Structure 1
């Protein structure tokens, strides 16, 4: 698969005669098939990190590498899932999931097999001919995730993918993503404002400082999750009731409050 490396990354934005430093000296490595979530105050550069890993933006200093290759542009080895579902409204569920496969020149038979696999995995069976406006927000995001996974990318980049969903649907999608990530692991960089979501989903949680953003602290969740056997618990509410989960959530929340000087997002 692949690793993601941020090597002394900085990003400065210019607006007319003014400029501001969004990121400074970011060093981070996401391991092969590791799920890493980034949390931090608003404006700390979380999304900018994701966009640079996607090749949608370039750093002003340092570099971002995937599998030791410096990223200069988007590529098929990296798939992105945004907060807004970004589906083609004139295409059906099947056609939206199929879209990226055309550029990869996947043979027709394999293309059909892949689409059928992820339609089934994401609970979209029976909706193949539906258009996005006929689906709920949660269903639309399932299509967006299926469209990313069907490309078989080395890296999955997710920018607050559940931020636009209602609370109940968000929980359902978090559980769905955990199931999918365990069954079909990818190297994942996940951006979120929600501490609970980060601790529930990730192997490690990166806490960023206020602007200019840099890595404040990295919290290991995977070893605790495995020791406490969270994956054996039936639902997210049971995981969140675990003393170790509460302790991690409190620790990360305190770090964020130190950076924000106010309540956690």
Structure 2
């Protein structure tokens, strides 16, 4: 019997413009829990600590939790898992909602970080960016050379998606003929609209998720109900340099 995995491999192999779209689920095996759902970060912390207005008004308190969540716990010593490595072998563009830099660490070169990244900090005054490894995070409020407050370079609640990431993501969704959707529930706007936009522009949607998502009963053409690290290495066997 021609399995769904084999069918998905064939679609990927024949794709002229493959694009991957990833969410929190791809990084769980690397030790990064999701933000939402049982055991998610927001079951332990108040999401308002990442509200931009709260950050501006209370940078010291906000940074206390940012350091605790992201730099001392969530992203400390994390490494790519087999799912990240498998996607890197496809050499296709990757649109990710994640801020963990694991796609780049696995070798993916064309990564659109839709929600930004925790790897850099940006000055709230002059917009200068710094690698977070070059900034002393032991102080109460990390600051720029100009004296401005530094903020992690990812999207806080109340902030807009970076225009370049937004424009490139929807451009890729418009022109791709196959989109590989991995580890996302399809709940967070406007990122959730990217696979829908791709489908509406003729793309074939392959979804990898251990549980059905908002896409599964609607736009998904092939639903592979597996963990990403289990099935993605199988999908890339014999498939090379799909762009």
Same structural fold, with TM-score higher than 0.5 when normalized by the shorter chain: no
TM-score by length of structure 1 reads: 0.30
Provide TM-score, normalisation by structure 2.
0.32
Larger fraction in strand: 1
